[in-house]
Structure 1
């Protein structure tokens, strides 16, 4: 009888331990920072949102009126048509596949799942997933409202696409994944040089994703600008939400048990 009681207690203990580990995953990681640093994050969030909204409105108006920023669409397309080569086309197709609707979601899913299981808290992976889903929803709504035609199909080098082009879903997905991912990773580190390099790398990735879509003949330059502007808004929203939920200054209460254990004591 004693053996059975012990076995039952062990099973119950393991069950509670697994439940506790699952519960702790969703304890939001709160952190202490200087008040000036927190104000700086809120300021950056506001600047990103305002800049993104202004750039998107300017791009949308120029597309609807066929002037302004969209005036560069045809010259940029013609220039890219003139520099096409076999090697360049192969590289751009590779980029289109990496940032495409099949490979990129798989990459994002793998990163989120790995990060979610590896990290003590799942707050940041959940934020990244939410940002990606938000971008998809917003782009699909705008695509159906604006209904902008793509460049001529005879200029497309990787199959025919008759869907709408404004904004570019490929570019928006790349922007959200790279920019939001860079912020969520480097916002927890004090190494400024690493953060700068991280965002420079994100910028290079975004440029490559945008150029590949233009080079292959699927989008106009203004489509890519609209995607970048929307991503700036999403990034600003993520920074504001993450700061509001996790950033604490000395004297404020830490509510997460694991976070409290990890935070410096005054």
Structure 2
């Protein structure tokens, strides 16, 4: 295919990736400011937590405890990486593995670094349900990494989803799963509302940057 035909396709994708990244940066900056000043959305952290604690039910508590369990937090990323590695070994296509690695490692570094820099305390252990979480609270690592992983999988699947309906379903499924993970962290009392919201903003930054890098790499390969 001539490069003149490829250019109009690649440019909108690169522009969308940049807009996604900028939106995430602005959202995260706003949330971080609220957390540091205890204003705005951060004023709702304690009321939201208290409401969720007051409305806990047995079956939902058990279900969301499974969602946040180590088996899910470790098992799902492991399966995704094994699948990407298999594709690389069988088809000699390493882009899926590289995309997952860049996105997931970027999210992990952001989560770990910000926890250490911000040093925000978690809700009290009396508020937690089930296994008590430890370490710093901001941002929510579970939420960030789940969102990044699911988003990266959608990015990889996007070129193969030929219809708008399929793309919508892929995005809706990933967004729903990420929302359920965020809800589980709030419901179980492991995080504040702003921890989870900031994680979504960070995921947008990571995914936007990953999509932009992927677009640039693909364009470079096509030109060579």
TM surpasses 0.5: yes
Return 125-134 or 34-43, whichever deviates more. 34-43
Judge conservation of contact 1:32–1:247 (CA < 8 Å) in 2.
Answer: no
Match of 2:59 in 1: 87
Structure 2 vs 1, CA of residues 102 and 63 (structure 1 numbering), >3 Å: closer, same or farther?
A: same
Q: Which among 54, 60, 64 is matched to residue 26 of structure 2?
A: 54
Return 195-204 or 103-112, whichever deviates more. 103-112
Q: Which among 190, 208, 211 is matched to residue 162 of structure 2?
A: 190
Q: Residues of 2 paired with 1:200 and 1:33: CA distance?
A: 30
Match of 1:153 in 2: 125
* 1:226 partnered with 2:194: no
Structure 1: 5+ residue runs without aligned partners? 1-30, 256-266
Q: Residues of 2 paired with 1:93 and 1:205: CA distance?
A: 14
* 1:207-246 aligned within 5 A: 207-246=179-218
Deviations 1:121-168 (A, max 9, x none): 111221111210111111101000000011110111122223101000
Deviations 1:192-216 (A, max 9, x none): 2211110110000000000001001
Q: Residues of 2 paired with 1:176 and 1:144: CA distance?
A: 20
* 1:65 partnered with 2:37: yes
Q: How far off its partner does 1:254 sit?
A: 4.2
Structure 2: 5+ residue runs without aligned partners? none
Return 89-98 or 60-69, whichever deviates more. 89-98
Structure of larger gyration radius: 1
Q: How far off its partner does 1:101 sit?
A: 4.2
Q: Residues of 1 paired with 2:95 and 2:140: CA distance?
A: 28
Match of 1:163 in 2: 135
Greater helix content: 2
Aligned-residue CA RMSD (Å): 2.1
Structure 2 vs 1, CA of residues 100 and 189 (structure 1 numbering), >3 Å: closer, same or farther?
A: closer
Q: How far off its partner does 1:36 sit?
A: 2.6
TM-score norm. by structure 1 comes to: 0.77
